[in-house]
Chain A
Amino acid sequence: MVIVPMLTLLFGVDFRYAVGASLVSVIATSSGAAAAYVRQGFTNIRVGMFLEVATTVGAVVGASLAGLISTSLLGVVLGLVLLYSAFVASRPRQEHIVGTRDPLAVRLRLDGTYPSLDGEREYHVQRVPLGFGLMFGAGALSGLLGIGSGALKVLAMDQAMCLPFKVSTTTSNFMIGVTAAASAGIYLARGYIDPGIAMPVMLGVLSGSMVGARVLTRTRSAALRAVFALVIGVLAIQMIVHGVAGRF
């Protein structure tokens, strides 16, 4: 999520190359962290696969649109998405566990269990069509801007579908890589992925995510979130200013 602003604002890399490198970094983070998460076994692969129908189609639509939109406008859109992400990160995340079954979720066998302090607990997936629609939007933004769209996925899975944190975090991570892979081919064919830029980004992000998944999963403090929100917020405003001034 910070790759495009960092490459464009700090290193003066062209917006299109930055998006290409960012997509690569998204796949690397997702797969690197997934390898660490999988052993914990909270991922709901039915929810993941069902929602991937929406995110992959959205990603192809987004990547197709990206070729038609000016990079300055894309920069402004990315700035707005970052602002929203900063807002989401600055507030405590709320878990909504619902006891009632949703007929559509039952028919799609989306409900599952997750380990809690009192043993295995059931959860019931809610508002399937709304979650599916939001995930289409998340996929489209991912394809448009080369980002993981984590904030929108949190909105869809935590708020709309009422998945427990442990399940939504790992399941959305599972989906992010697949979603990014759907648009990566389109960017590759357009010549947006430069090996000289993608190589250090991929190697750096991969080592960072493998260390991070080990170190940070249990130490996520409020202070860390505040710093993250602040950094994202500052980058967001810079992206918007740059975009409005037409400097991408």
Chain B
Amino acid sequence: MASPAGSSPPGPPHVWADEAIEAVLGHLLRAGVILAAIVVAAGGARYLMEHGSAPPPGRLFTGEPVNLRQVGGIVDGAVHFRGRAMIMAGLLVLIATPVARVGASLIAFLEQRDRTYAALTAFVLAVLAAGLMGWAM
């Protein structure tokens, strides 16, 4: 905001800060998506080695096994290089990416001392956390 007079268009000071935030958030998003894609692709390769000759899944709904419905079970399977769990771990990274973006926005609004938006963002983050823990209404 300490730009020389006349060199920047007039406007409320928060405009520039918001743009800086957006740039950081963009990098965060890209990193998250790329990481998720790498993990899913690696898991996909393992999965095809393990189950590639089986018939395609999903014609009959049986629900996923309990260990693939929880973060703990997914991480446990992924560190043992089980294909299905590795894919799920990548999907968790993918799901976490927009959540991290909201978290970064919360920090940014707190730094701007924008209480209204910090509160709104904290509320959104709480809803996301509840959803991620599988708390349906």
Contacts and interface: CB of A to CB of B under 8 A. Distances in A.
Chain A facing B: main interface SS: helix
Contacts of A112: 15
Interface stretch (A92-100, A147-155, A156-164, A176-184): A176-184
B87 A53 contact: no
B29 to A, nearest CB: 5
B57 interface: yes
Contact of B58 (A13, A24, A38): A13
Contact of B95 (A52, A67, A181): A181
Q: How large is the interface on A (under 10, 10 to 19, 20 to 34, 35 or more residues)?
A: 35 or more
A105 to B, nearest CB: 13
B72 to A, nearest CB: 12
Contact of A34 (B29, B84, B87, B120): B29
Interface of A: 7, 11-18, 24, 27-28, 30-32, 34-35, 38-39, 41, 43, 45-46, 49-50, 52-53, 56-57, 59-61, 63-64, 67, 108-109, 112-113, 120, 177-178, 180-186, 188-200, 202-203, 206
14 contacts: A14-B59, A39-B23, A39-B26, A41-B22, A45-B18, A49-B105, A49-B120, A52-B102, A53-B124, A56-B131, A195-B87, A196-B56, A196-B84, A203-B44
